Amino acid sequence: MGKGYTATEPNKWLNLGALLTQSLPSASYGEKRQDVTISMNASTKISTKPSARPKTAAVRRLAPAPRTRAINSDVPIFIGFIVLVATGVWAVNGGWDEVVGGWSHLWRASASLSGIWTTIAALTGLLLAARLPWMERSAGLDRILIWHRMAGDTMGVMLGVHVFTSVMAEMPLRGGLVSTVKDMIGRESYMGMASIGALIVAVVVVSSLKNVRNRLSYETWYLLHLSAYVGVIISYSHTITLGSLLSGDRLIRYMWGIFFVYVLVLVVLARWSSVIHAIRKPLTVVEVQRETEDTVSVVLGGSHITNYSGEAGQFITVRMLKRGTWWKSNPYSLSAAPTTAGMRITVKDRGDASAATFRLKRGDKVAVEGPYGIATPDIFDGSRPLLIAGGVGVTPVRAMLECLPKGSQPLVLLRARKVDEIPHYKEICDLTEARGGEVRLVLGRTAQLKSRDPFAPKILHSLVPNLTNCVAFVCGPTSLTFAARKGLREAGLAPSRIHLELPWW
């Protein structure tokens, strides 16, 4: 066994009841990268095996991720412009006259406008999910997909309003509630398809609710969301034939149709062409390495690796090209800077696809999309890096450390119950020390901590000297991410200096 870890000065502990943080200001490691025993105190010893890493012979970094002149505010401005134009067209083509024409006309006006907004929300959601390069590079795919979810929620609310106001507007004309409902679910032309489409969309929206989503596997949720394409398409026809605005104006009808087709073409070209390309030119599993009891690292490489460009801090989506799994795509952060030798991901066993990752072997083919994300080492821009992570969220932190310059003095805060649950812990210590930085640990179950919030401003200031001069990157479970952001803001760190990998699933 190689030489063990030896601290050059006594370990420093911040004792807050069961809250333990250890400072590792300097250390010496043996030259051999074999099994290493880290002695933390008399009762704690951790055995860490070497991690799967791309071979360094004749290896170079992949080209950096492409840049864009767009900024993150351009996306909501673009969406807002579409909503305002559509609403303005509705208003000047009789919509406003309906509003001021009395209650009977108000129901019809509300039905018409809510129908337009429902369609816009649906198309906006599809457009955001298309992963257009300028959108992704300006705002980040995690934020784009959160906006996509918000568009879906808006679509669900507008759909409910549209159905209710349509029934209220039609009841006096169709002889009551029962007759109106019968007409709307099939007796009226095109309404049968619209009703089926609305039902599909409603199921997709309900599956996106937090309490429901948390009970579903990623694969089930993903399959349900694919059906949204069908729901939107089969519902579209009734807006042309029955919509009060579109059915009476040929020019507007043509423009609306062109907009609808334009969005669908963008979705096909931007989203599904990348899927097809990834399947046609897959990467190969180069190496599989167990990191902890429930995490494994996989290096993906092969002849097609040079087709990719990316940086540390980004993530990819992986589709295993095997029977029963080829249709499922799962996101994983890079746990090492991507090179021509391969892209490494580290996966925690959470069931379903992540469990299938543990069964991968050398030579298996996988389709990879990305890398995505805008939180790269460039975000620090010469400031001291503050890296906060927990669970498998340490993987982009480890990758970023690899690309930080010497003397950058990064400060790494790792949250875990036990040290041996932290993937790539020794690599993180090595990389941090080489750059003159420190690793501090926040250990123990939350229920056992004297301070239930390990990211409270007082604690952060005690852990991070000159906190307000740092630039922070946070990645981990949802609760950790939002708790750290809240604590950093209350501790005085400007929001523009806080970067998150937002939980979008």
What DSSP assignment string belongs to 268-292? IIIIIHHHHHHHHS-EEEEEEEEEE
For residue 123, what pLDDT is reported? 87
Residue 455: CB atoms within 10 Å: 23
Low-confidence ranges of the chain (pLDDT < 70): 1-57, 68-73, 189, 218-219, 240-249, 351-353, 446-451, 502-505
Are 158 and 114 a contacting pair, CB within 8 Å?
yes
CB burial readout 394-406, b (16+ within 10 A) else e: bbbbbbbbbbbee
For residue 380, what pLDDT is reported? 94
Are 341 and 303 a contacting pair, CB within 8 Å?
no
Q: How far apart are CA 154 and CA 148, in angstroms?
A: 10
For residue 202, what pLDDT is reported? 87
Half-sphere exposure of 156 (CA within 13 A, CB side): 17
Q: How far apart are CA 137 and CA 371, in angstroms?
A: 11
Structure tokens at 133: 């390069």
Total residue length of the chain: 505
Are 201 and 235 a contacting pair, CB within 8 Å?
yes
Are 345 and 431 a contacting pair, CB within 8 Å?
no
Q: Which residues pair with 365 in a beta bridge?
A: 284
Question: What amino acid occupies position 196?
Answer: I
| Distances from the Cα of 208 to the Cα of 115, 150, 154, 212, 479, angstroms | 21, 10, 12, 7, 19
Quick check: helix, strand or coil at residue 503?
coil
pTM of the predicted structure, to 2 decimals: 0.74
- φ/ψ region of 184 (left if φ > 0, alpha if ψ in -120 to 50, else beta) reads alpha
Q: How far apart are CA 195 and CA 480, in angstroms?
A: 41
| Distances from the Cα of 233 to the Cα of 141, 257, 263, 273, 433, angstroms | 25, 12, 12, 19, 56
CB burial readout 428-454, b (16+ within 10 A) else e: bbbbbbebebbbbbbbbebeebeeeeb
Q: What is the largest CA-CA distance in the chain?
A: 88
The conformation of residue 305, written as its DSSP 8-state character, comes to G
Q: How far apart are CA 35 and CA 138, in angstroms?
A: 43
Q: Phi, psi at residue 8, to the nearest 5°?
A: -85, -10
Nearest 5 degrees, angle CA 421-CA 378-CA 148?
Answer: 75
Are 288 and 150 a contacting pair, CB within 8 Å?
no
Q: Which residues pair with 289 in a beta bridge?
A: 297
For residue 409, what pLDDT is reported? 94
Query: Dihedral of the CA atoms 213, 114, 162, 146 (nearest 10)?
Result: 0
List of residues 6+ apart from 262 with CB closer than 8 A = none
Helix (H) or strand (E) holding 174: helix 141-174
Are 371 and 338 a contacting pair, CB within 8 Å?
yes
Spell out the long-range contacts of 252-256 with Cβ–Cβ below 8 A and sequence spacing 24 or more. Answer: 252/89, 252/93
Helix (H) or strand (E) holding 123: helix 103-129
- φ/ψ region of 492 (left if φ > 0, alpha if ψ in -120 to 50, else beta) reads left
Query: Dihedral of the CA atoms 109, 115, 117, 123 (nearest 10)?
Result: -160
Structure tokens at 49: 């095996």
Q: How far apart are CA 465 and CA 491, in angstroms?
A: 12
